[in-house]
Amino acid sequence: MQKSNKSIAGYHLLMILSSVDGEFAPEEGMLVQQYLADEFPFKMNLDDELETIALLKPEEWNAHFEFHANCFHDDSTEQERKKFAQFAKTLIKADNKVTDEEHTYYKHLKNIWNLE
């Protein structure tokens, strides 16, 4: 897998976080759109990225998530990682329920980045 830049890696992380519970809630979609608007102020075609994510089997999600968490880590400061983790927390709470799967992936992200 080719290394992703911070913004693309963040997109992959958010899409997996919003999908691990088996449901992509509209509230989560709005937050992903907000992330995209903030990270890509210019027009960006993410069709290939979305296709890559959509083709993942659930048993492949963890490795893909870890890979992109490491890509994000490599291109970010600790403050950027803290800000992203807070945004990810908002995302998993957006539909007013946090499933065990969402919580597990969120904690895993924080562990990969050595955040408390």
Q: Which two tokens stand for residue 114?
A: 């050595």
Q: Is residue 69 part of a domain?
A: yes
Contact 49, 11 (CB under 8 A): yes
Sign of torsion over alpha carbons 94, 114, 52, 7: positive
Answer yes or no: is pLDDT of 43 > 90.
no
pTM, to two decimals: 0.92
**Interval 42-58 mean pLDDT:** 88
How is residue 5 annotated by DSSP? P
How far apart CA 55 and CA 114 sit, in angstroms, is: 29
Number of domains in the chain: 1
Position 45 scores a pLDDT of: 82
Each residue's pLDDT tens digit, 85-103: 999 999 999 999 999 999 9
**CA within 13 Å, CB half, 113:** 28
Domain limits for position 48: 6-112
Q: Is residue 1 part of a domain?
A: no
Between 24-38, 39-53, 74-88, the lowest mean confidence (pLDDT) is in 39-53
